[in-house]
Amino acid sequence: MKDDNKLKSELQKEIDKDSFRKRLTRFTWQAYNKIPTIKEPKILDIGCGSGIPTIDLAVLSKGKITAVDIDGKALNLLKDKIKALYLTDHITLVRRSMTKLRFKKDYFDIIWAEGSIAVIGFEQGLKDWYRFLKPGGYLVVHDSLLNYNESVRLISTFNYTLVHHFIISEQVWYEEYFKPLGKCISDLQVKYSKNYRIMKLLEEESVEIEQFKESPKDFASVFYVMQKVS
């Protein structure tokens, strides 16, 4: 089992999905730029993972970011990035489940959640995170487009104003993420064609690509920029 886990870890490094995810960080910038300028904002990044948006938020805001995730391995990767980029004064890591967040009331200027709110549901996220935001603070959520109408309804229900939103189409996801990822995996399948164990692992890594091919419209997503009503 240890050998299999080590092999899988090494293969994931070779695939390096973060390198493809970085192709979409322009949308993080687009969303952030819809927020009025806040000098050195306090930002809570919920479900930060290995920190692709977190690093961009630090560069954009020059503020203080509390980055939260339950995945220790992902946080260790982010920790290395923070050190390499000399961002230790700007980013603090917290290993914790998003169902057990404990922060001061009305403390953060911005709460950021890219692809993480689905873990607890859009309604629960809006309700739970509201208390951590300062009056007039901003909540930015990147989520599936599938429940768009219901999500817009919930935003006003839980005392937020929808400041801005924009859609990332399935075509963009294909061109910027799934297509280059698929090319990478195909190249590795050629490289390791005689290694049965690696080929099986590459099949597992291809699952999300197959899911995309089966129902590409399910992968369209939307950024919501909301403001807490004072």
Burial class (CB in 10 A: 0-12, 13-18, 19+), 78: buried
**pLDDT band at residue 1 using 50, 70 and 90 as cut-offs:** very low
In a domain, 59, yes or no: yes
State phi, psi for 80 to the nearest 5 degrees.
Answer: -65, -40
- Does 133 have pLDDT greater than 60? yes
In a domain, 134, yes or no: yes
In a domain, 189, yes or no: no
Entry pTM: 0.93
Work out the mean pLDDT of the chain and round it to a whole number. Answer: 95
In a domain, 202, yes or no: no
Contact call for residues 15 and 184 (beta carbons, < 8 A)? yes
Q: Which domain holds residue 50?
A: 37-168+223-228
- CATH code for the domain of 44: 3.40.50.150
- Does 2 have pLDDT greater than 70? no
Average pLDDT over residues 69-83: 96
R_g over Cα of the chain:
19
What are 153-192's pLDDT values in tens digits? 999 999 999 999 999 999 999 999 999 999 999 999 999 9
Which structure tokens are listed for 16? Answer: 């390096």
Contact call for residues 69 and 75 (beta carbons, < 8 A)? yes
* List of residues 6+ apart from 161 with CB closer than 8 A: 155, 226, 227, 229
Cα dihedral 170/171/172/173 (nearest 10): 50
* List of residues 6+ apart from 23 with CB closer than 8 A: 176, 177, 180
**Of 10-19, 106-115, 122-131, which gets the smallest average pLDDT?**
10-19
In a domain, 42, yes or no: yes
* DSSP single-letter state for residue 229: -
In a domain, 182, yes or no: no
Whole-number pLDDT of residue 184: 97
In a domain, 183, yes or no: no
**pLDDT band at residue 9 using 50, 70 and 90 as cut-offs:** confident
Domain count along the chain: 1
In a domain, 29, yes or no: no
